[in-house]
Amino acid sequence: MFRLIIYILLTFSMLSLSAQESSEKKNLIYNSSFEEHFFCPQKIEPYGQMMEVEAWWQPTGGSSDYYHPCGGKQCQMPKNKLGYQYAKTGEGMVGIYTSKTTYREYIQTELKETLQAGEKYKLSFWVSLSEYSTGAVATIGGLFTNERIKDDTRELFTNNTKTKHSNGIKQEIAKIFQPQVVNSFDKPLLDTENWQKIEGEFIAQGGERFLTIGNFYPAEQSNLLFPAILKQILPGAYYYIDDVELYCLTCNEKKTIKQDNITITTTKDKKKYEVGQVIVLENIFFDFDKSVLLPQSFVELHKLINILEEHPEMKIELSGHTDSKGSDKYNLKLSKERAEAVFNYLIDKGIDEKRLTHKGFGAKQPIADNATEEGRAKNRRVEFKIISM
């Protein structure tokens, strides 16, 4: 009887530990089901920017779309201008085109954590074909890159590299990107009523920080089909996207030192902060000459929110800075408004207003040379100073 009790207790402990380890695996995608948004979408803009949804943006000139019940008639659910569909979960979803021509639309985000070399990850997301489409494709996938990639065109997203030949002539060669996860060519995404899951596993090279979703292949490599069930109103294949998830499958595994038979786990050292420390928020983006926060700012702002939540006694001063272009009066006003925009965002996300102050300094405190574009870019910044801990 005693042995049976010990066996039951050990089994329960192992199950609890397994459940705890499983719960430690976290989705590395911010705003993974597109619920959080800066404002409600109002209409489909053929040449617009997807600026409503937080943490996601379009990396090319192809105009991706955001849908939410709070939006205008063209962007509501289930019925909207480009089709009929409910969100897979929650209330928000996005939409992208791919076509028989080279026209493409993509969505992009920054990951919560940089991917680790040699670790295995699993990406999954759901798509549903709009019944208004002319055709359907198979090869929609996810591309992970170390740097933020972008293109001003509305074409197939390609990796343009310049090659210098012996005669000194430089030639730009366009190569298609190879997404780490892509839906199989022989499994076209045809369902207009239900959601279809795209998923796959891959080994990270290390350093990947950005995810781009879309069709990275020319039409002839995309298994382009023209099903009779489609209404053929839109000039291409239009897909709704929802519920993007990325998990590391091996990061939390315990490693055993064989000779001593000791199981160890490694943890990252937490960054230390101190009063008077000034930290630049590296990836805060605004509309040109405006104080409107862009979706690309979401990840950096949430890092700051995490710092404030981990240090509940910390108080900070936000400061806005500009380059030297423009008048002193204008730059001072713009810098104040941008610092205030970050201030208001933090309050909206639940940070106590008493812990925050904000100021604008215009171009008075440069950290780089204003004579170069690179220097001016560094000077256009928002930073925070730790006032107390």
Assess if residue 229 is contained within a domain: yes
CATH code, domain carrying 192: 2.60.120
Per-residue confidence (pLDDT) for residue 17, from 0 to 100 = 40
Assess if residue 46 is contained within a domain: no
Domain match, 292 and 203 both: no
- Is the pLDDT at 154 greater than 60? The verdict is yes
Assess if residue 84 is contained within a domain: yes
Domain match, 316 and 229 both: no
Domain match, 243 and 282 both: no
Q: What is the mean pLDDT of residues 338-348?
A: 89
Question: How would you class 71 by CB atoms within 10 Å of its CB: exposed for 0-12, middle for 13-18, buried for 19 or more?
Answer: buried
CA–CA separation, 308 vs 279, rounded Å? 13
Per-residue confidence (pLDDT) for residue 161, from 0 to 100 = 64
- Is the pLDDT at 120 greater than 90? The verdict is yes
Assess if residue 105 is contained within a domain: yes
Per-residue confidence (pLDDT) for residue 197, from 0 to 100 = 98
- Is the pLDDT at 55 greater than 50? The verdict is yes
Q: What is the mean pLDDT of residues 89-95?
A: 97
Of 228, 248, 268, which residue constitutes the final position of a domain? Answer: 248
Structure-token pair, residue 204: 């990270």
Domain match, 290 and 229 both: no
Of 226, 248, 270, which residue constitutes the final position of a domain? Answer: 248
- Is the pLDDT at 5 greater than 60? The verdict is no
Assess if residue 358 is contained within a domain: yes
Assess if residue 301 is contained within a domain: yes
CA–CA separation, 226 vs 209, rounded Å? 36
The count of residues in the chain is: 389
Lowest-pLDDT range, 35-39, 86-90, 95-99, 173-177? 173-177
Q: What is the mean pLDDT of residues 156-182?
A: 76
Domain match, 179 and 89 both: yes
Looking at per-residue confidence, does 145 or 158 come out higher?
145
CA–CA separation, 168 vs 165, rounded Å? 5
Per-residue confidence (pLDDT) for residue 21, from 0 to 100 = 40
195, 89 contact by CB (below 8 A):
no
CA–CA separation, 103 vs 108, rounded Å? 17
Characterize 334-358 residue by residue with b for buried, 16 or more Cβ atoms within 10 angstroms of its Cβ, and e for exposed: bbbbbbbbbbebbeeeebeeebbbb
Q: How many domains does the chain have?
A: 2
Per-residue confidence (pLDDT) for residue 182, from 0 to 100 = 97
Mean pLDDT: which of 50-64, 197-211, 216-230 is highest? 197-211
Structure-token pair, residue 323: 């380059």
Domain match, 232 and 89 both: yes
Can you tell me which residue has the tokens 């069709």?
A: 215
Domain match, 147 and 288 both: no
CATH code, domain carrying 317: 3.30.1330.60
Q: What is the mean pLDDT of residues 289-298?
A: 80
Lowest-pLDDT range, 74-78, 88-92, 155-159, 316-320? 155-159
Assess if residue 8 is contained within a domain: no
CA–CA separation, 156 vs 109, rounded Å? 18
Per-residue confidence (pLDDT) for residue 253, from 0 to 100 = 53
CA–CA separation, 333 vs 307, rounded Å? 28
Can you tell me which residue has the tokens 């366009």?
A: 174
* pLDDT-based confidence at residue 124 (cuts at 50, 70, 90): very high
CA–CA separation, 57 vs 359, rounded Å? 28
Of 248, 264, 291, which residue constitutes the final position of a domain? Answer: 248
Q: What is the mean pLDDT of residues 106-133?
A: 96
62, 206 contact by CB (below 8 A):
no
182, 141 contact by CB (below 8 A):
yes
Domain match, 125 and 190 both: yes
Contacts of 373 (CB under 8 A, 6+ apart): none
Per-residue confidence (pLDDT) for residue 371, from 0 to 100 = 86
* pLDDT-based confidence at residue 165 (cuts at 50, 70, 90): low
- Is the pLDDT at 378 greater than 70? The verdict is yes
Looking at per-residue confidence, does 372 or 238 come out higher?
238
Domain match, 242 and 282 both: no
Can you tell me which residue has the tokens 């659910």?
A: 77
CA–CA separation, 52 vs 144, rounded Å? 23
Give the residue numbers spanning the domain of 317: 278-388
N- to C-terminal Cα separation, the chain:
55
Assess if residue 3 is contained within a domain: no
Per-residue confidence (pLDDT) for residue 185, from 0 to 100 = 95
Domain match, 210 and 66 both: yes
What digits encode the pLDDT tens for the residues 303-337? 889 899 989 999 999 999 988 888 889 989 988 98
* pLDDT-based confidence at residue 296 (cuts at 50, 70, 90): confident
- Is the pLDDT at 34 greater than 80? The verdict is yes
Residues paired with 384 in a beta bridge: 279, 318
Domain match, 185 and 313 both: no
Per-residue confidence (pLDDT) for residue 15, from 0 to 100 = 43
What digits encode the pLDDT tens for the residues 255-285? 444 444 444 444 455 678 888 898 888 788 7
* pLDDT-based confidence at residue 194 (cuts at 50, 70, 90): very high
Averaged pLDDT score across all residues of the chain: 85
Domain match, 166 and 61 both: yes
